[in-house]
Homo-oligomer: A and B are copies of this chain.
């Protein structure tokens, strides 16, 4: 398979579906629609929803059935970025080289646009095609809500804030990562498997795969941030270091971080050994996560 072609094709599919969910029609009040679109269409690589589609395909499912769930994952991701960037949180002015939402729309509208994306995510997930059993959709709702809430992303964010400026261990950083980034990436794989009609063992395997690449992803993020250049990242490089954020390179060093990312990536690939050719995209995505430059 040609990975670039595959990723581009999936990205177009997802962007088209997101465009249908958030059309550029001024039927919604004021600037809310515009702010929601700004948060969603800002040059993301759609790695999480691509994972959902790839996991659905890996268990023999129809990717069109999984498309609303894939969009729901991306909407949750977009919501979390807007809240993360707010002045009371990371206070970032730039994201992917563009002004952050609150810089463009003001804090109140940015806050509410993110809340709107949060609600739209569950609305979208619950509007799965009729070919997907209600029980599978409901299980996906439970997983997405769990991955977003106090035991997942929100919990990780709080740990992250509380760790700022403190001495932390590798175990602390991994706990933060698992919540902040890992939970949603794991959910993306799990939900794909569930909506795709995978059996219990397959879904558990996808969960372990998702957990492993989730950890690899955040370590690579930290690495890119600590050594990366501003232009590629589209935000101030080393801003984490300046704020004494709990990052993997800060506690384990750059070399050990690179090794850890590689280990997680290899573990993810091993998890997929029971899958045939249909899991090839998942294997390639695992490698991509460690080798990416942005």
Closest partner residue, chain B, to A123 (CB atom): B145
For chain A, which range describes its interface: under 10, 10 to 19, 20 to 34, or 35 or more residues? 35 or more
Stretch at the interface among A132-140, A216-224, A282-290: A132-140
Q: Does A26 contact B (CB under 8 A)?
A: no
Q: Which one of B31, B106, B158 lies within 8 Å of A32 (CB-CB)?
A: B158
- Mask for A83-122, Cβ within 8 A of B = 1, else 0? 1001011000000000000000011110110011011111
Q: Does A294 contact B (CB under 8 A)?
A: no
Say how far A235's CB is from chain B's closest CB, in angstroms.
19
Stretch at the interface among A39-47, A147-155, A248-256, A270-278: A147-155
Do the beta carbons of A107 and B88 come within 8 Å of each other? yes
Q: Which one of B29, B111, B133, B141 lies within 8 Å of A86 (CB-CB)?
A: B111
Do the beta carbons of A119 and B30 come within 8 Å of each other? no
Q: Which one of B33, B138, B161 lies within 8 Å of A126 (CB-CB)?
A: B138
Q: Does A157 contact B (CB under 8 A)?
A: yes
Do the beta carbons of B149 and A120 come within 8 Å of each other? yes
Q: Which one of B106, B115, B161 lies within 8 Å of A154 (CB-CB)?
A: B115
Closest partner residue, chain B, to A151 (CB atom): B28
Q: Does A232 contact B (CB under 8 A)?
A: no
* Known contacts A120-B145, A123-B145, A141-B122; A112 and B157 CB within 8 A of each other: yes
- Mask for A217-244, Cβ within 8 A of B = 1, else 0? 0000000000000000000000000000
CB neighbours (8 Å) of A123 from chain B are 142, 145-146, 149
CB neighbours (8 Å) of A109 from chain B are 158, 161
- Distance A138 CA – B158 CA, assembled complex (angstroms): 30
- Distance A172 CA – B280 CA, assembled complex (angstroms): 55
* Known contacts A89-B108, A155-B116, A158-B32; A126 and B141 CB within 8 A of each other: yes
* Known contacts A126-B141, A134-B138; A28 and B116 CB within 8 A of each other: no
- Distance A119 CA – B122 CA, assembled complex (angstroms): 10
Do the beta carbons of B150 and A119 come within 8 Å of each other? yes
- Mask for A59-93, Cβ within 8 A of B = 1, else 0? 00000000000000000000000010010110000
- 22 A-B pairs within 8 Å (CB atoms) are namely A28-B151, A29-B155, A29-B158, A29-B159, A32-B154, A83-B111, A83-B112, A108-B161, A111-B111, A115-B118, A116-B150, A116-B154, A118-B149, A119-B150, A119-B154, A121-B145, A122-B144, A126-B138, A126-B145, A134-B137, A137-B138, A141-B141
Other CB < 8 Å A-B pairs besides A28-B151, A134-B134, 7 of them? A29-B155, A112-B157, A115-B118, A123-B145, A123-B146, A137-B138, A141-B141
